[in-house]
Every structure is written in C-alpha cells, then in structure tokens.
Amino acid sequence: MKNKTYCELKDRSQVTIPKYLVKKLNLQTGDMIEVKESNGVIYLIPSVVLPKDQAWFFSEKWQEEEKQVTKELKQGKGIPVSKKSDLAKIFTSDKE
C-alpha cells in the first residue's frame, strides 16, 4: 500500500475517509460505499446501488436487446415518430 493513513473509529462506528482519497476517487456526499470484511481486513468499495424497480434495465437480456435496437436504428430500420398521434396510428394500424 503506497499511501498509508490512519483514522480513528468514532462514536456510532464512524470513520472519516481521508480528503485526498475522497478527491482522488471523486466521492460525493451521499455516495454509497460497500463494506466488506475478509480475513480481518475491512474493504471500502465505492458502489452504485440500483433501485429495485430499475434493476430490470441493467439485466443482461435487456442490454442485449438495447444493443440490437441500436444496431437496427443505425441500419435505417424503424419507423420515425415525431408526435404522439403518429405513434398511436402505428399501434392501431391493422397492417404490419
């Protein structure tokens, strides 16, 4: 470990992350940090926690489908829509 810094365990089990690390890792107030322990070593890992109701978007299946749609759009496939009424016509149309 190149930069060794000590910090004190405070009331309510709080520790202050040294300012140089906060700046280096671009941490902001409110960021989530995962805490792990392994063989007596505590790891603090900056993390992004997804709300449960948004996790579907980041599933492997959904991301693959997003890539496919993007590819098809770049190939000129798809139907241009500029107004809600245009979209409604597509969904209410009898022809495919």
Distances (CA, A) of 45 to 5, 16, 22, 84, 96: 17, 14, 12, 44, 50
Residue 70 lies in a domain: yes
For 34, the domain range is 11-47
Distances (CA, A) of 94 to 1, 74, 90: 67, 27, 9
AA letter at 94: D
Q: What is the mean pLDDT of the chain?
A: 88
Q: Which residue has the higher pLDDT, 63 or 2?
A: 63
* CATH code of the domain covering residue 35: 2.10.260
The per-residue pLDDT for range 61-74, each reduced to its tens digit, is: 999 999 999 999 99
CA distance 50 to 47: 10
Question: pTM surpassing 0.85?
Answer: no
Residue 4 lies in a domain: no
Count the domains in the chain: 2
